[in-house]
Every structure is written in C-alpha cells, then in structure tokens.
C-alpha cells in the first residue's frame, strides 16, 4: 500500500464558508502540499434537511478565489469518487448490514415521541440527553419481524458500556474518554441516509485518508469512529484536532458575534492574501516572530507539530493591521485591479487607468479595507460635503483671494499639469503672501471637500479642468 499522505476537507453544504472551515481547509491543503501528498474535497451532504441550494458552488468559488485547489473532488474527479456522499448511499448500506451482523450495531424503533419522553425524564433528573439503549437487546427475530411489518427504524452503534477509549491525537497527545460518556450514535437514519459518523469513517477508509485534520468539536466523536474502524478491522487514520476559534471574550466564534463568513470579509475588501495569512496563524505558530507569509512560504514552514492546543482568538484589530500591511506591500497595478470592482459597485467611473492608480496609491496609505476606497474617492464623483468649520476657512478674505487667483489662472491655462500647479503654488506665496496652512487646506477643501487628502496635483489631475473650475466658482459664489 502507498505511503502517500492523503488528507481531506469534508464540508456540509449548509451555507457560507465559515472562517473556521477555511482554517481546516487551509491546514489540510498546506500539509498536503508540504508533504507532496493529495488534498481531497468531499461534500458531506447526507443531511437533506440542512442542505442549502448553491452552497457547494459558493464554497468552491470562495476557495478558488483564495487559490486553494484540490487534487480530487466533485470538479476534477478522481479514482475514489463519487465525492458527494449523497451519491454513495448504496456503499454505506452494505457496511451497516455488516455491523449488525457483527453485533456492533442494532435497529432502533423508538419514535420521536419516545425520544422526547426520554429527554424530558432525563432532564427532570438533571441529566444530559443520552439514548437509554432500550432497543439494544432486541432479538434478531423480533427486529426482523418489526422491519418486515413496515415499522420505521434507525440503526444505532452498539458502543461498550464500561471502560474507556484511549487514543493518540497529533495535537493533544494521549486522550482518554470513558465509554459511559459515548452515546449509541445513530448511523443510518430512517430515510436511508447515513449520519456523518458512519459515512465519514467508511469514506475515509475507502479514500485512503491518512490524516484527519478537523476542528476540536469532533474530538468527543473519536471513540465512535475508532469503534467503527475496529469493528470493520480497518487501520484508523491519524487524528489531528484543531483548537477552537474564539471571540475576544473567549466565547466560541459565532455569527452572533459578527461576521464569520469568508465571503463577507472578501466583500468588505479584505485581501485574499491577508485572509490566508491571518487564518494560518489562528492555531499555528511559526518559528521566530515572523507574521507576514505568502502562501508558498506557509507551505514551506507549515508543520502539524507547531499546532497549538489552546483556543485561538479571532483578533479583528490584528486582521485590520495585517490587511494594511498587504495594501502597502502588493503591487499597485494589482491593488488597482481589485479596487476597480469597488469603484464599479459605487457607480464611479474613471476613464484613465492612470487616474485609478493615482487614486488607489493615495488611498491605500489611509484605508484599512478596499471597500473604504469608494468613500475616499466619493469627493471626486459626488457633490462635496463640507463641514461648517471648513466652510469658515473658505469664507475668510485670504481664502477668497486665493480661490479667485487660482480660478483666473486655470481658466487661462491651455494645459493643466503638475508643472503648472507647482508654479501656481509658488506664485500664491510670492504674489499673494499666502503660504502653509493658509494655502493648501483652502484649496483642498474647495476641490476635495476636506483639508487633508491627496496631493493637489493628484486632485486636479483626476477632476479635470472643467470640474476644477466649477468647484472654485461655487465656493467663491457661496461666500
């Protein structure tokens, strides 16, 4: 048998891609690429009640936008398909029958009403809900007769009642869980679909998954899975359970606390490089103090041995800091290309690519996310919103003299370029005696709406002669 490393990302199509799921996918991807192994995408869609239309397409689109690709999966196939669990139901039925024959599972005929009464009784006793095993010891004959009579049933795992399950986890080392804490898990639902627990173990074996890298919330399910591996006589995959993602208050990261969908972060203008870098550091620590990594560097340095046991706090301030680093670091042409989408969504159109690049170059020094660029650019496309304090600056005699001087000189100029603007700035000082804070702020306010912002040559170049004249005239008339 091959010694090739094979890992998988197995999401359920129940909506958006959670940042926690992105981390799971990323760590599996990094480990596969680091070891020269294979990275498999498997869609665990056996829970038809939770299925969300277009969720698979959105998931694939989001991962592709982050440059995370798969060696096998629904899109590119592979020798171990199909890669949708809903297309593998016949496979699971065979293994369910094998478990029943080995007395490792049993049919359960309890109705919803039975389970509800059981839940209420246990609640009164202050107990967590646990299936009480009332169908565990039904004879084979009785079970077969009830099935033949058309009674609805599920198939449950027949876990031990005594002792404990001890296993090794690549993050947590030795783990022991008492069997009395493990429920007789439903393996096959009454609709014929398997639950996660059965399908997960069967598929991991058949797809030759060597390492299961997933979230900590699945740690308590490992005894059920190991029991299944043992019942089938299979060698289990190596287990690696990632630490929880936490809010700043140390509660589990959830939608109630704010955005957790990768799509939302991308739509807000967080760069894909930022998200990959930031998420990679949520539970994995690199050597030294390095914090900025591109994807290739992550592949080179990634190691399962450097995964943390404790929960990782999703620090929005750190994410914002990191996004600023990438906004400053990436090539201006690439940033301008991505920013164009946000200009289009805001209804802003720049005819010249040079103007877009000029604006982006200035904006990226001042913004945190790309969606803020439309607000930064708004003064070039919309009417100016000038504060009352800034209007007072424009109403002073010096400001009015300055605006009239610039209006006259720009009107008479054949061409407006950086050379002309620099000459006018010098002349404003020499001929009008207006310099420094009495020179730049009034011009910026009149043309851009704020005393601070892009350099005057940039503002005037983007606005163009006609709009510059209109804005100067407006502020002179409105005194």
Among 123, 255, 290, 392, which one carries the catalytic annotation?
255
Element (H, E) at 173: strand 173-178
How many Å apart are CA 55 and CA 215, to the nearest integer?
20
Q: Indicate the DSSP class of residue 202.
A: H
Nearest to 406 by CA among 423, 382, 383, 386: 423
Whether 19 contacts 279, CB under 8 Å: yes
> Can 437 be counted among the known catalytic residues?
no
Do the beta carbons of residue 443 and residue 406 sit within 8 Å? yes
Are 223 and 199 spatial neighbours (Cβ–Cβ below 8 Å)?
no
SS3 151: coil
For the record, the structure tokens of 477 come out as: 């008339």
Structure token pair of residue 133: 């095993």
Of 30, 50, 38, 35, residue with least CA distance to 8: 38
- What are the φ and ψ backbone dihedral angles of 29, each rounded to 5 degrees? -60, -50
DSSP codes of every residue in 207-265: TT--EEEEEGGGGGGHHHHHHHHHHHTPPPPEEEEEPPEE-TTSSBP-GGGS--BHHHH
d(CA 169, CA 175): 7
SS3 at position 303: coil
What phi and psi, each to the nearest 5 degrees, are found at residue 386?
-105, 130
Separation CA 355–CA 473 (nearest Å): 24
Determine whether 331 is exposed, middle or buried from the number of CB atoms within 10 Å of its CB (0-12, 13-18, 19+).
exposed
Separation of CA 67 from chain center: 13
Q: Would strands 105-108 and 238-242 be described as parallel, antiparallel, or unpaired?
A: unpaired
Task: Kindly list the catalytic residues.
Answer: 255
């Amino acid at each position: 048998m091959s010694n090739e490393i094979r890992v998988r990302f197995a999401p359920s199509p129940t909506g958006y891609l959670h940042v926690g799921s992105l981390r799971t996918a990323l760590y599996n991807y990094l480990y596969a690429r680091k070891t020269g192994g294979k990275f498999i995408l498997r869609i665990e869609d056996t829970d038809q009640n939770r299925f969300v239309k277009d969720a698979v397409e959105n998931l694939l689109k989001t991962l592709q936008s982050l440059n995370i690709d798969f060696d096998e999966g629904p899109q590119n196939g592979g020798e171990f398909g199909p890669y949708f669990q809903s297309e593998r139901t016949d496979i699971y039925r065979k293994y369910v029958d094998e478990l029943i024959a080995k007395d490792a599972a049993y049919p359960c005929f309890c109705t919803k009403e039975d389970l509800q009464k059981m839940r209420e009784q246990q609640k009164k006793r202050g107990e967590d809900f646990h299936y009480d095993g009332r169908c565990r010891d039904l004879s084979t004959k009785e079970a077969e007769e009830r099935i033949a009579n058309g009674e609805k049933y599920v198939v449950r795992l027949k876990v031990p009642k005594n002792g404990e399950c001890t296993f090794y986890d690549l993050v947590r080392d030795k783990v022991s869980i008492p069997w009395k804490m493990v429920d007789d898990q439903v393996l096959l639902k009454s609709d014929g679909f398997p639950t996660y627990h059965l399908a997960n173990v069967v598929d991991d074996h058949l797809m030759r998954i060597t390492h299961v890298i997933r979230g900590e919330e699945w740690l308590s399910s490992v005894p059920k899975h190991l029991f299944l591996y043992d019942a089938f006589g299979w060698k289990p995959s190596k287990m690696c359970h990632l630490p929880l993602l936490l809010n700043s208050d140390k509660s589990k990261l959830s939608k109630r606390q704010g955005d957790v969908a990768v799509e939302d972060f991308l739509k807000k203008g967080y760069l894909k490089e930022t998200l990959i870098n930031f998420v990679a550091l949520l539970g994995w620590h690199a050597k030294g103090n390095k914090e900025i990594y591109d994807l290739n560097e992550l592949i080179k340095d990634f190691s399962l041995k450097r995964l943390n046991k404790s929960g990782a706090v999703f620090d929005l301030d750190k994410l914002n800091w990191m996004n600023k680093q990438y906004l400053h670091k990436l090539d201006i042409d690439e940033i301008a290309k991505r920013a164009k989408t946000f200009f289009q969504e805001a209804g802003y159109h720049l005819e010249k690519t040079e103007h877009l690049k000029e604006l982006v170059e200035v904006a990226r020094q001042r913004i945190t996310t790309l969606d803020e660029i439309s607000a930064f650019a708004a003064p070039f496309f919309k009417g100016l919103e000038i504060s009352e304090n800034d209007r007072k600056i424009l109403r002073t005699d010096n400001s009015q003299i300055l605006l009239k001087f610039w209006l006259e000189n720009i009107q008479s100029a054949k061409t407006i370029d950086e050379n002309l603007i620099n000459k006018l700035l010098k002349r404003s000082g020499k001929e009008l005696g207006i310099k420094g804070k009495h020179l730049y702020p009034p011009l910026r306010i009149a043309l851009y709406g704020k005393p601070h912002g892009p350099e005057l040559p940039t503002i005037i170049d983007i606005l163009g002669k006609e709009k510059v004249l209109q804005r100067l005239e407006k502020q002179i008339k409105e005194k």
